[in-house]
Amino acid sequence: MIDEAKDKIFDASKSINDIANELGFKYQQHFARLFKQKTGMIPNEYRSMN
């Protein structure tokens, strides 16, 4: 799931909230928390870094 999220994050036309919804998260905060646990950075940091 995190690998799929990493791919989707690079689509600048989608917000982090859109990506979280596509992956089945009810709340964007839950997605961001899991993403940070697995990658060490929040989704916006990951998007801007890569």
> For 16-29, what is each residue's pLDDT tens digit?
999 999 999 999 99
| pTM of structure | 0.87
pLDDT score of 50 more than 80: no
CATH 3.90.1150.10 assigned to domain 2-49? The reply is: no
Token pair belonging to 3: 């690998």
pLDDT score of 14 more than 80: yes
In angstroms, what CA-CA distances link 44 with 4, 8, 26? 15, 12, 18
Q: What is the pLDDT of residue 21?
A: 97
| Alpha-carbon span 12 to 18, nearest angstrom | 11
Q: What is the pLDDT of residue 31?
A: 97
- Mean pLDDT across the stretch 1-8? 94
> Does residue 43 contact residue 7 with C-beta atoms inside 8 Å?
no
- Indicate the domain borders of the chain: 2-49
**Neighbouring C-beta atoms of residue 19, cutoff 10 Å:** 22
Among the listed ranges 10-14, 22-26, 46-50, which one has the minimum average pLDDT value?
A: 46-50
